[in-house]
């Protein structure tokens, strides 16, 4: 464990409930002592290509993530330095001009489908949580999210799922469950996840906050 930081990684497939789990965790703790970094912020900037070309990029491949930048920003927070993280637009498939200022806190939560993929980032994480949810539930959640928040059609969502999301999950995401310290079924939605928060992570966080 880092001398002055507790770093929690939360991973799992798309639509698994990672974000809800993270929100439940933060809700039960002192949010003033926690910083949440989403791996989604670190999709590589594609503003140099057309929108049509960006729409055809495989965002479910880890090559779409700038792990160097993510690692450097985490390291800055570990070193008690303020950092500015990217702001990514899923509607435009590119980074925005503005950035988000993040101040260092005792607890750092890193959340994303590839949170455990890169060994340099994986080695920084003290506690790894994998949210394991059945594929049929995940695709329905993803479809609902992409329709409501990203202006996607149902046809494009299921085409993408068959062609990239499912094979990339099986190749790159599902195997990282082997790195997990804690495996949670269906994220923050079920009682088991809440028990994991209360019985395992909360004491670690309280110890770190209280010194």
CATH of the domain at 132: 3.40.50.300
Q: Would you say residue 182 has pLDDT above 70?
A: yes
Q: How many domains does the chain have?
A: 1
- In a domain, residue 1? The reply is no
Q: What is the pLDDT of residue 84?
A: 98
Residue 174 domain-assigned (yes or no): yes
pLDDT of residue 95: 92
The parent domain of residue 132 ranges over 6-210
User: In whole angstroms, how far apart are CA 74 and each of 11, 102, 177?
Assistant: 16, 10, 22
Q: Average of pLDDT values for 27-53? A: 89
Over the range 116-153, which residues count as b (16 or more CB within 10 Å of their CB) and which as e? Answer: bbbeebbebbbbbbbbbbebebbbebbbebbeeeeebe
Average pLDDT over every residue of 127-156: 83
């Amino acid at each position: 464990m880092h001398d002055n930081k507790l770093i929690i990684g939360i991973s799992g497939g798309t639509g698994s409930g990672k974000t809800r789990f993270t929100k439940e965790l933060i809700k039960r703790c002192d949010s003033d002592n926690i910083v949440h970094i989403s791996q989604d912020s670190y999709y590589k900037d594609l503003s140099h290509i057309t929108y049509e070309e960006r729409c055809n990029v495989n965002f479910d491949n880890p090559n779409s993530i700038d792990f160097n930048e993510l690692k450097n920003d985490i390291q800055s927070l570990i070193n008690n330095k303020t950092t500015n993280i990217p702001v990514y637009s899923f509607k435009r498939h590119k980074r925005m001009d503005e950035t988000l200022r993040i101040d260092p806190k005792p607890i750092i939560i890193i959340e994303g489908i590839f949170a455990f993929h890169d060994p340099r980032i994986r080695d920084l994480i003290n506690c790894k949580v994998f949210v394991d949810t059945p594929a049929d539930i995940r695709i329905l959640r993803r479809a609902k999210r992409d329709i409501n928040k990203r202006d996607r059609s149902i046809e494009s969502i299921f085409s993408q799922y068959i062609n990239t999301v499912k094979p990339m999950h099986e190749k790159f995401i599902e195997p990282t469950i082997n790195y997990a310290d804690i495996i949670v079924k269906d994220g923050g939605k079920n009682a088991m996840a809440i028990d994991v928060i209360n019985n395992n992570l909360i004491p670690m966080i309280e110890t770190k906050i209280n010194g």
